[in-house]
Amino acid sequence: MTDIEIVRGARSEKRLTAVDYINGIVNGFIEMHGDRYFGDDAALIGGIGRLGKRAVTVLGVEKGKNTKEHIKYNFGSVHPEGYRKALRLMKQAEKFDRPIICFVDTAGAYCGVDAEERGQGRAIADNLFEMTDISVPIISVIIGEGGSGGALALCHADRIWMLDDAYFSVVSPESCSNILWKTTDKADVAAKALCLTSEKLMELQIIDKVIKSGSVKKLKSELEKELLVLSKVSKDRLLDDRYEKFRKIGYDWS
């Protein structure tokens, strides 16, 4: 598969969405709503449940599976209140010492006048700022699209994993082609240049693990294993490691 085909595959309607992973991985999921400031963003699903024997907080960006659901979930484009709901639930997870799992699948944060006026940039910035110090393990898995800052706001984590057929990019290949070459026809060139596949991001040490797509069970056992590892790390060490993880990206210059 070429890189642009991977991008298109990651956008496919036939893929499993966040709900499938939550239901397949978390037992007895109880959904929580609202950011306590403005509203409840359907695109960002959050709640608690059990992964194996461990209580966990789960967050996921949901796209929906048909037109009706796409509209309900706003095509997986999160509003500021979605990011604020996520942060609220993450702080709650910290209080009750529960690890956090994020399933990320978004083309990007929602672009609209309302989203801008309610501080889309500030909401993302706040997540990055606060997640630096949330003293419970955070694992983020990109299950489809990892679109720019809107995806990063849920990936400021101890472990960033990707399904082998997902993508994670600073900009969509179409926009990149449009900005650089004034045409959307060169999206394939842009996709290749952006190094957005799981394989390349693993090489660049941006992500920590590639998971084979299609097996929810496999992902579940990997998550359980990793949470066991992370649960043995002291809180100070966890936060220091998280700092160093991001600190070393793009450090090598002369």
Partner 1 sequence: MKLKNLFLNPHNSLEYGEKKPKDRLVACKKCGKEIPVSKIRKNSFVCPYCGEYFIVRARRRILMLTDKRSFMELDRNATSKNVLSFPGYDDKLSTAIKKSRENEGVICGYGTIGGVECAIFSMDPIFMMGSMGAVVGEKITRLFEFATIKKLPVLGICVSGGARMQEGMISLMQMSKVSCAVKRHSNAGLLYMALLTNPTTGGVEASFAMQADITIAEPFARVGFAGPRVVEKTINRPLPPDFQSSQRVLECGFLDMIVERAKLKDVIEDILKLHLKG
Return residues touching partner 1 (CB under 8 A): 109-113, 115-122, 124-126, 128-130, 132-133, 148-149, 152-153, 155-156, 168-171, 175-176, 179-180, 189, 193-196, 201, 204, 206, 242-243, 246-247, 249-251, 253-254
Least spacing, CB of residue 122 vs partner 1, in Å:
4
Triad 31, 28, 133: Cα angle to 5°: 60
Nearer to partner 1, 1 or 249 (CB): 249
Task: Say if residue 34 is exposed, middle or buried (CB neighbours under 10 Å; 0-12, 13-18, 19+).
Answer: middle
Q: Which two tokens stand for residue 143?
A: 């299950």
Q: Which two tokens stand for residue 16?
A: 């499993």
Least spacing, CB of residue 47 vs partner 1, in Å:
25
Q: Which two tokens stand for residue 95?
A: 């209080």
Nearer to partner 1, 103 or 110 (CB): 110
Nearer to partner 1, 84 or 242 (CB): 242
Least spacing, CB of residue 185 vs partner 1, in Å:
15
Q: Which two tokens stand for residue 187?
A: 């999206």
> CA-to-CA distance for 180 and 203, rounded, in angstroms?
25
Torsion 147-197-20-89 (CA) sign: negative
CA distances in angstroms from 59 to 24, 98, 165, 232, listed in the order given: 14, 13, 21, 23
Least spacing, CB of residue 220 vs partner 1, in Å:
26
Nearer to partner 1, 24 or 121 (CB): 121
Least spacing, CB of residue 249 vs partner 1, in Å:
4
Residue 182 gets the label, from left (phi > 0), alpha (psi -120 to 50) or beta, of: left
Nearer to partner 1, 4 or 26 (CB): 4
Least spacing, CB of residue 84 vs partner 1, in Å:
13
Nearer to partner 1, 55 or 125 (CB): 125
